[in-house]
Structure 1
């Protein structure tokens, strides 16, 4: 069931992922393209996790997924400036109304966003995906995006609510540093598709 735009669900679980949806909470959100992690790689990750204590598995799962996302697997359609620009437009479209956009980074095969929620988090993420997916499918063949079967985004998303100022600073640093960590640029502000060193209202 899709929540109403102003309906906040609190703690809930979807597709085996825990989510926290509440008004005015700061959320660090990550989601990826449908082919960013091949099924063989996901199975490898799960096999490695089974050797760990249960309490460590979720933390290590996220670390391993983040590592492999930064290796640039899949079609990396977001590396095309045309699609990255459309996704950025979608992010900025409801900034200041449905959410306050605090930091963001568009990587070749995944996206990181930090927002203060005002609408339902699930509806916000759905709107970003829908806005960009329609355009991507329409222009897939012309631009050679490499999208298969009309599917653009992997279902679901990861979210972490920000606990305190230290956590906030760490989240912003992670988001802005991701292109550097992935070896795409030497300085965070050199990556065109992020908020690093940019005023959001001027983009």
Structure 2
């Protein structure tokens, strides 16, 4: 007799909007990064594309993500999330449905991108969760800063967490990101991050 699927472990589903592949992994922790539309120079992205096309060996997903995140930490673009109102808006959006649509484990709202470690709750797709964060915050931030136009880059990175060691490595990376980027001396000094919060997660 075949084993029945666990009700809280939906079958994983790959999908793409033409930019990056995404995996709807059900109730599994996911590392997510989404960024502002102007957070990476067009010239840099074009060079990466040319290098990838001319190289016999394309960078794997880990190398590609590391390269993107190192570039993001340079703070390119308007870096609008450094504004207290903007940073607070994103953090509030992340916390709003914690325990309802997902379990939020760690986060850091950087000047031009956002890192999140969370587990979708059964019935809530990761793509829908990220879309809700971005659509709500775009409206609120544009209004608060008196601006118009696209705020977020349309895509995001996601990665399924493999095990407990991977989970702790990713959480540490997220909470230490502001320190690594030279924005503060201690992780807990970066206001818009889980490191600055004392609540149990």
Shared fold per TM-score greater than 0.5: yes
State whether structure 2 residue 192 is matched by structure 1 residue 187: no
State whether structure 2 residue 49 is matched by structure 1 residue 46: yes
Corresponding residue of 1:75: 78
- Give 1:25-64 correspondences, 5 Å limit: 25-50=28-53, 52-54=55-57, 56-64=59-67
2:200 and 2:132 mapped to 1: Cα distance?
20
How big is the shift at 1:22?
2.9
How big is the shift at 1:175?
0.3
Corresponding residue of 1:172: 171
Q: Note the aligned Cα RMSD (angstroms).
A: 2.1
1:48 and 1:183 mapped to 2: Cα distance?
29
How big is the shift at 1:41?
1.6
Equivalent of 1:102 in 101, 105, 108: 105
The answer (yes or no) to whether the contact 2:12–2:26 under 8 Å persists in 1 is no
2:41 and 2:193 mapped to 1: Cα distance?
26
What is the DSSP-based 3-state SS (H/G/I as helix, E as strand, rest coil) of the residue aligned with 1:16? coil
The answer (yes or no) to whether the contact 2:179–2:186 under 8 Å persists in 1 is yes
Q: Structure 2: which 5+ residue stretches go unaligned?
A: 1-9
Larger Rg: 2
How big is the shift at 1:44?
2.1
The answer (yes or no) to whether the contact 1:49–1:57 under 8 Å persists in 2 is no
State TM-score, norm by structure 1. Answer: 0.86
State TM-score, norm by structure 2. Answer: 0.86
How big is the shift at 1:92?
0.8
1:15 and 1:200 mapped to 2: Cα distance?
38
